[in-house]
């Protein structure tokens, strides 16, 4: 059969194959900046100190923390079938979360940089029977090399925004060649499925969003007890996964409300914890008292703003704050995931820019389980209203929880779609005497 790989992908393979010396330099620079794991950075070159277990192995690849958390229930379902599960991701943050959240026998590795030599090492070592790519983290060499080895490829929890769809239409042959190597695309929505079809995906099914089936984040009992003791009966609001510009808005809201609600505490949880010190400076300039979690501090009775610049503790803060603003939505980012806050009973506020989770926010807003605020003034009014009226706030929270329950079901539909592939490679291994 003639090679139908477009020239763009052939050129990509040639250029990336020649880039090994440059990538090695970049990896070492990233290591110095804390962007790579000091003991595990060889995994980015496709080298692994972990042995491949015997038996069937399913490989799931996700970009970062959000996607990783979404696939945890699926990982548990696969492991329950006596299948070895290998999870790859690309960030130090996701590796830290994997260490805490993955079941004991599930393997985590950093995904190799998309260089043919590194990808070849990785695939030769792990020999996956099935490869699942999560959402939209599609690396050409990983995809092409896996397909060449006849590893079935499935895109799960697929998401493709209208903007990305329009961009990819400009490179129709390139994206079509990549999607054409997938056996199946499992899309979050009918709109996503239609976009994948329009770009050349041969088979596609709408299964829903796995993030809606993810469990509520856990909370360390000792840390939760310490925070509850420090906060006491003070009124509390939180802002989760905030981006630059949003913290200043929340600090402004705090200044407007603090005299009406004595003891008000605002918890700011930046999307990128390394920004914590800069956020404390905003609070200092605003004349507010602050404490910083990464410095080992807890809020005291005089703390106005608590900067929670750590990882993996959202379960603590969602259980402390009855009102939560979800970040990435006042700025032009596309919004962060509101599901965890909704599942833990928070009344949710968000800005207008929520296209990353458009279906979820639409359902929440339509049901009355969340509210859109476009500026500091509207946010101040709504938070003040909810702080005064606990029954109204609780009604919003319960409505949001019910809305999440009606949207669930993606996990079962995804497992059902994967069943034929799992049965097939098990039968093949039995036939080979494995």
Domains and CATH numbers, the chain: 7-213+409-431 (3.40.50.11720), 221-407 (3.40.50.2000)
What pLDDT score was predicted for residue 312? 85
**Residue 341 is encoded by which pair of tokens?**
């806050």
What CA–CA distances, in Å, run from 18 to 11, 31, 55, 85, 261? 11, 22, 35, 32, 62
Rounded CA-CA distance 150/380 in Å is 56
What pLDDT score was predicted for residue 1? 39
What pLDDT score was predicted for residue 118? 97
31-72 pLDDT tens trace: 888 888 999 989 999 999 999 999 899 999 998 888 898 999
**Residue 174 is encoded by which pair of tokens?**
């390139």
Rounded CA-CA distance 339/331 in Å is 20
Q: Rounded to 5 degrees, what are φ and ψ at 401?
A: -65, -45
Question: Which residues have C-beta within 8 Å of that of residue 205, sequence separation ≥ 6?
Answer: 184, 185, 186, 187, 193, 413, 417
Residue 215 in contact with residue 404, Cβ under 8 Å?
Answer: no
Neighbours of 422 (CB within 10 A): 17
State the residue for tokens 């918890």.
Answer: 267
What pLDDT score was predicted for residue 156? 97
Name residues of the chain where pLDDT drops below 50: 1-2
pTM attached to this predicted model: 0.84
> Is residue 67 annotated as a catalytic residue, yes or no?
yes
**Choosing from 36, 67, 246, 340, which is the catalytic residue?**
67
């Amino acid at each position: 059969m003639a090679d139908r790989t477009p020239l763009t992908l052939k050129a990509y393979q040639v250029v990336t194959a020649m880039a090994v010396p440059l990538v090695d330099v970049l990896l070492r620079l990233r290591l110095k900046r804390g962007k790579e794991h000091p003991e595990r950075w060889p995994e980015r070159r496709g080298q692994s100190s972990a042995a491949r277990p015997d038996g069937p192995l399913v490989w799931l690849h996700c970009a970062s923390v959000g996607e990783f958390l979404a696939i945890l229930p699926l990982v548990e379902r696969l492991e329950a079938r006596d299948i070895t599960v290998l999870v790859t991701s690309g960030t130090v943050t996701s590796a830290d979360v994997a260490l805490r959240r993955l079941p004991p026998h599930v393997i985590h590795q950093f995904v190799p940089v998309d260089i043919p030599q590194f990808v070849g090492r990785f695939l030769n070592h792990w020999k996956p029977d099935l490869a699942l790519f999560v959402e939209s983290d599609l690396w050409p060499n990983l995809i092409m090399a896996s397909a060449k080895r006849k590893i079935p490829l499935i895109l799960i929890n697929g998401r493709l925004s209208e903007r990305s769809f329009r961009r990819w239409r400009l490179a129709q042959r390139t994206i079509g060649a990549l999607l054409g190597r997938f056996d199946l695309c499992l899309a979050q929505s009918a709109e996503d499925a239609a976009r994948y079809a329009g770009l050349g995906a041969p088979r596609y099914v709408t299964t829903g969003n796995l993030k809606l089936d993810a469990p509520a984040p856990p909370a360390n009992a000792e840390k939760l007890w310490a925070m509850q003791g420090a906060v006491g009966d003070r009124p509390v609001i939180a802002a989760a996964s905030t981006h630059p510009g949003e913290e200043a808005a929340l600090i402004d809201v705090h200044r407007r409300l603090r005299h009406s609600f004595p003891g008000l505490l605002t918890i700011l949880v930046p999307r990128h914890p390394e920004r914590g010190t800069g956020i404390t400076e905003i609070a200092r300039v605003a004349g507010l008292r602050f404490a910083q979690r990464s410095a080992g501090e807890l809020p005291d009775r005089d703390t106005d703003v608590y900067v929670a610049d750590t990882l993996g503790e959202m379960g603590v803060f969602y259980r402390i704050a009855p009102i939560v603003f979800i970040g990435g939505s006042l700025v032009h980012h596309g919004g962060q995931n509101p599901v965890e806050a909704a599942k833990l009973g928070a009344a949710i506020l968000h800005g207008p820019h929520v296209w990353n989770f458009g279906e979820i926010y639409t359902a929440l807003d339509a049901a009355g389980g969340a509210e859109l605020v476009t500026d500091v003034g509207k946010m101040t009014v709504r938070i003040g209203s909810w702080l005064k009226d606990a029954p109204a706030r609780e009604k919003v929270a319960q409505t949001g929880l019910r809305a999440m329950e009606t949207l669930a079901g993606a996990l079962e539909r995804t497992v059902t779609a994967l069943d034929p592939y799992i049965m097939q490679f098990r039968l093949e291994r039995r036939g080979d005497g494995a």
